[in-house]
Amino acid sequence: MLRLLIQGECISSKELTINKNDASIDASILVVGNKQFITTFVKRTCYIRSSTVEVSLELDDVIQHIKTRQPAILILQATQVASLQLCRQIKEQKLLGWIYCILINDLPEIAITKMGRDPNWELRECAQALENGADAYLRISSISNQDSPIAVAEHRLLKAQIQAGLRGVRLYREAMQTNDFLSRIALVDPLTELSNRRAMEWELPRQVENAFSQSTPLSLIILDVDYFKSINDNYGHPVGDSALKLLASRLKHNLRIKDSLFRYGGEEFVIILSHTDCEEARAVANRVRHIISDQPFQIDRRLVLPITISLGVASLNNTDDHRGESLLRSADHNLRIAKSNGRNQVYCCCNH
């Protein structure tokens, strides 16, 4: 496979103006065909679009190249046998289907006449190309006189198709950015800015599965703020919210890198402790308890609140399910025991 990188410097002073939005897209173009096809369409593409153009003389390893580089636009020589198959392969893959595929038949008119094809052959070729995943099918000769009226018209058509492809790429990227933003919002608690319960319900099964498959320990802590209702009742919900934000910040900055912290709901928090056995988890829980109880919380200049927490700890064992539901229930059960025993304490599955 031959890969030739051609940067935007090859732009001609005679190039046609491109839509400003399209020009701002950082997108590459891959041209696939024989040497004559590549020579012609790399040059034409550079006249149209200031971007990196890559080329390939062979179709055999183009898919792997596309997966790695993900060009925005693919320009394929239609007369190559495997071109339609390549289009179909790309469109069948979820992560590549957005790539804009332009299939170009570069046979000159005289060659088509000598082949004795009937007048409807081009319509059938176009339909077949679109049916197999091509986004556009063009007939542009690779040996026509570049100054002729037909060459100018062909250049305009190719430019229009590239612009159409770039518009699609821009819309796809904007949609992906929006989806990423919405996903982050959906997985973050707005008050504490910690990962929320939904994020925990996604992360816990993954960590449990890893622990089982790698035979590594895994533990979990559920903690609850003691007498939190009295803070809201005596000082109001804004003070309660401030207390939760300060508590979340103190937890976040005093856990280990490998620990995963979540706001489970209300005044409850969950900590997933990867590669941590029961005794280590209990030590972490006791350290967290002291971090919260040993230093009162400065809500504002006039209000300082002493806050304590109760913690339930459980460790994964062979009888637990792979979604982590039984592990979570065990930790929650131990939390209730810690609260019933007087609060401001840790109850762990390895107490007995």
End-to-end Cα separation, the chain, in angstroms: 66
Which of 54, 209, 267, 325 is an active site residue?
267
CB atoms within 10 A of CB 117: 14
Single-letter amino acid code for the residue at 130: L
Helix (H) or strand (E) holding 218: strand 218-225
75 and 31 in contact (C-beta within 8 Å)? yes
Burial class (CB in 10 A: 0-12, 13-18, 19+), 160: middle
Burial class (CB in 10 A: 0-12, 13-18, 19+), 327: buried
107 and 62 in contact (C-beta within 8 Å)? no
To the query of whether residue 174 is one of the catalytic residues in this protein, the response is: no
Helix (H) or strand (E) holding 261: strand 259-265
145 and 151 in contact (C-beta within 8 Å)? yes
In order, the DSSP letters of 314-330 are EE--TTS-TTSHHHHHH
Question: For residue 219, how far is the Cα from the chain centroid?
Answer: 28
3-state SS assignment for residue 248: helix
User: 280: number of CA atoms within 13 Å, CB side?
Assistant: 15
315 and 219 in contact (C-beta within 8 Å)? yes
Single-letter amino acid code for the residue at 351: N
β-pair type (53-56, 346-348): unpaired
Provide the annotated active-site residues.
Answer: 267
